[in-house]
């Protein structure tokens, strides 16, 4: 009897243990499902917190302030300005008069008696040489000023490109996040439909794959934005971290001009100045053919009886002056330098004409692209974007009501998303053409 009771108790214990294991297994599965369901939300929230904390230490900056900061702090521009000061100092070396020679003699210069003689000699180039040397150095100084202006307009172009590219990526990020929210809702509905037997696993898998693709794009986008902020910080060269900020990520061109403004561009003015320098340098090389001047003065004693039969003591001094001309007899090297300088004039003129033609062509091409992108964006903003939003809203309603299946919903939604994405790309292209036009207009 006791054995029968023990057997019954053992069976009850086994049944209870099995029931407890089953309940624990079900609880574990439910927790696993909840964890899988909300993992993306937890990760998204964590990423958002990281972004907010990272941007807490950064300050927003608009485009005019960013341009001012870059022009005042950028190291490349500062270095070009130092070159200007350097060239300005060199102008004073235009009159590089050779050293003055001072000599003294003591000994039997005129007779058995010891005499003394002091002299001073100064060599000079012809005055026009110094004039052309100073003109050449002034021309180099003006060229360095044009180099500063060119660096500044290039820097402004880089700042604008970085600034609006960041705003463009920010809009891309918002679009992807909006798409992610839509697919979260779709995934929730697909999961519920799958559990109720209204759909198969393909619908749920499609939603999960779409969300995975969006996640990959967001990760890449965040990396691009971080790299762009590093470049932006490098251009501004400040100790404060700045983030581009603007209410509108689409640029507006201030005053539409024509290609005549190309003549005011620093690169054209720099080439014009280089051409002027080659002209002055040719004149300088020709001036070096002019005679060199030599001026001398001598003061000496003549002890004893002079030619006039007068006995002179040491105290009596005699003086003389001398002037001489250095005439070049060998012209080969001079003519070679003049010929080389003339060739440099021709090359400078060709560079100027080539750059002018290229910039005019670039202006015409960029202006045509600008007008084309402007028309495209106008169409998007007047009609296409509204239609895309209407497609999304209608597709969501029809999918919820069961009027369309998940494949149709995905196709319609992706079509609308593609329209919004193409609009963003169009605005990016429009901004690039405006930035290029501002650069060509020296703005």
The band of 270, judged by pLDDT with boundaries at 50, 70 and 90, is very high
Q: Residue 143 and residue 145: Cα distance in Å, rounded?
A: 5
Report whether pLDDT(258) > 80. no
Give the pLDDT confidence of 194-252 residue by residue, as tens digits: 666 666 667 677 777 878 888 898 999 999 999 999 999 999 998 889 999 888 889 88
The band of 157, judged by pLDDT with boundaries at 50, 70 and 90, is very high
Count of alpha carbons within 13 Å of 345, Cβ hemisphere only? 14
Question: Closest Cα partner for 204 from 218, 176, 184, 219?
Answer: 184
Q: What is the 3-state secondary structure (H, E, C) of the chain?
A: CHHHHHHHHHHHHHHHHHHHHHHHHHHHHHHHHHHHHHHHHHHHHHHHHHHHHHHHCCEEECHHHHHHHHHHHCHHHHHHHHHHHHHHHHHHHCCCCCCCEEEEEEECCCCCCCEEEEEEEEEECCHHHHHHHHHHHHHHHHHHHHHHHHHHHHHHHHHHHHHHHHHHHHHHHHHHHHHHHHHHHHHHHHHHHHHCCCCCHHHHHHHHHHHHHHHHHHHHHHHHHHHHHHHHHHHHCCCCCEEECCCCCCCCCCCCCCHHHHHHCHHHHHHHHHHHHHHHHHHHHHHCCCCEEEEEEEEEECCEECCCCCEECCCCEEEEEEEEEECCCCCHHHHHHHHHHHHHHHHHHHHHHHHHHHHHHHHHHHHHHHHHHHHHHHHHHHHHHHHHHHHHHHHHHHHHHCCCCHHHHHHHHHHHHHHHHHHHHHHHHHHHHHHHHHHHCCC
Q: For 155-167, what is the mean pLDDT?
A: 95
The whole-number pLDDT of residue 57 equals 58
Query: Pick the residue with more confidence: 175 or 45?
Result: 175
Cα-to-chain-centroid distance, residue 431: 16
The whole-number pLDDT of residue 297 equals 94
Q: For 321-338, what is the mean pLDDT?
A: 86
Give the pLDDT confidence of 412-427 residue by residue, as tens digits: 888 999 999 999 999 9
Could you state, in order of their start, the residue ranges of all structural domains in the chain? 1-57, 61-93+130-288+334-440, 96-124+292-327
Report whether pLDDT(93) > 70. yes
The whole-number pLDDT of residue 199 equals 61
Report whether pLDDT(8) > 60. no
The band of 387, judged by pLDDT with boundaries at 50, 70 and 90, is very high
The whole-number pLDDT of residue 194 equals 64
Q: For 365-378, what is the mean pLDDT?
A: 93
The band of 69, judged by pLDDT with boundaries at 50, 70 and 90, is very high
For 381, phi then psi, to 5°, come to -70, -30
Query: Pick the residue with more confidence: 66 or 313?
Result: 66
Report whether pLDDT(154) > 90. yes
The whole-number pLDDT of residue 5 equals 37
Report whether pLDDT(167) > 90. yes
Give the pLDDT confidence of 77-87 residue by residue, as tens digits: 999 999 999 99
The architecture (CATH level 2) of 61-93+130-288+334-440 comes to: Up-down Bundle (1.20)
Q: For 267-277, what is the mean pLDDT?
A: 93
Mean of pLDDT over the chain: 83
Look at the alpha carbons of 87, 89, 94, 99 in this order and tell me if their dihedral is positive or negative: negative
The whole-number pLDDT of residue 95 equals 85
Residues 6+ apart with CB under 8 A from 432: 161
Confidence (pTM): 0.77
Q: For 365-371, what is the mean pLDDT?
A: 93
Q: For 266-281, what is the mean pLDDT?
A: 93
Q: Residue 181 and residue 218: Cα distance in Å, rounded?
A: 13
Q: Residue 78 and residue 69: Cα distance in Å, rounded?
A: 12
Query: Pick the residue with more confidence: 307 or 398?
Result: 398
Instruction: List Cα–Cα distances, 239 to 68, 185, 231, 267, 341, in angstroms.
Output: 15, 43, 14, 31, 47
The whole-number pLDDT of residue 166 equals 95
Are residues 410 and 205 in contact, defined by beta-carbon separation less than 8 angstroms? no
For 60, phi then psi, to 5°, come to -80, 150
Instruction: List Cα–Cα distances, 77 to 142, 155, 236, 441, in angstroms.
Output: 16, 8, 11, 19
The rounded percent of the chain whose pLDDT value lies above 90 is 48
The whole-number pLDDT of residue 52 equals 42
The whole-number pLDDT of residue 301 equals 86
The whole-number pLDDT of residue 302 equals 85
Buried b / exposed e across 188-217, counting CB within 10 Å, b at 16+? ebbbebbeeeebeeebbebbbebbeebeeb
Q: For 104-128, what is the mean pLDDT?
A: 88
Query: Pick the residue with more confidence: 110 or 375?
Result: 375
């Amino acid at each position: 009897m006791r054995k029968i009771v023990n057997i019954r108790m053992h069976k009850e214990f086994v049944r209870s243990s099995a029931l407890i294991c089953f309940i624990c297994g079900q609880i574990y599965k439910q927790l696993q499902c909840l964890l899988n369901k909300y993992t993306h939300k937890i990760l998204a929230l964590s990423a958002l917190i990281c972004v907010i904390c990272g941007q807490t230490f950064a300050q927003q900056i608009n485009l005019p302030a960013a341009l001012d900061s870059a022009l005042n702090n950028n190291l490349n521009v500062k270095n070009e300005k130092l070159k200007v000061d350097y060239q300005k100092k060199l102008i004073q070396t235009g009159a590089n008069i050779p050293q003055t020679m001072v000599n003294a003699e003591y000994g039997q210069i005129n007779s058995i008696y010891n005499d003394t003689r002091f002299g001073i000699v100064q060599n000079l180039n012809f005055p026009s040489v110094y004039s052309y040397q100073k003109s050449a150095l002034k021309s180099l100084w003006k060229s360095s000023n044009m180099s500063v202006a060119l660096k500044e307009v290039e820097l402004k172009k880089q700042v604008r490109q970085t600034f609006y590219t960041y705003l463009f990526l920010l809009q891309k990020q918002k679009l992807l996040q909006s798409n992610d929210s839509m697919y979260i809702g779709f995934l929730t509905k697909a999961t519920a439909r799958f559990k109720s037997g209204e759909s198969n696993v393909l619908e749920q898998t499609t939603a999960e794959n779409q969300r995975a693709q969006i996640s990959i794009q967001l990760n890449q986008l965040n990396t691009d934005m971080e790299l762009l902020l590093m470049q932006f910080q490098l251009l501004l060269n400040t100790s404060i971290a700045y983030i581009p900020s603007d209410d509108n990520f689409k640029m507006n061109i201030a005053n539409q001009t024509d290609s005549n403004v190309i003549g005011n561009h620093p690169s054209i003015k720099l080439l014009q100045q280089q051409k002027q320098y080659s002209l002055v340098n040719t004149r300088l090389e020709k001036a070096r053919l002019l005679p060199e001047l030599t001026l001398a003065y001598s003061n000496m004693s003549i002890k004893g009886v002079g030619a006039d039969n007068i006995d002179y003591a040491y105290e009596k001094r005699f003086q003389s002056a001398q002037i001489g001309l250095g005439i070049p007899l060998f012209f080969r090297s001079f003519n070679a330098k003049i010929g080389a300088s003339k060739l440099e004039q021709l090359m400078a003129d060709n560079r100027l004409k080539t750059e002018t033609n290229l910039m005019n062509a670039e202006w015409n091409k960029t202006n045509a692209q600008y007008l084309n992108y402007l028309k495209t964006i106008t169409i998007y903003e007047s009609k296409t974007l509204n239609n895309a939003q209407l497609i999304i809203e209608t597709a969501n309603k029809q999918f919820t009501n069961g009027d369309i299946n998940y494949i149709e919903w995905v196709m319609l939604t992706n079509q609308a998303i593609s329209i919004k994405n193409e609009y963003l790309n169009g605005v990016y292209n429009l901004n690039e053409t405006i930035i290029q036009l501002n650069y060509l207009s020296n703005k």
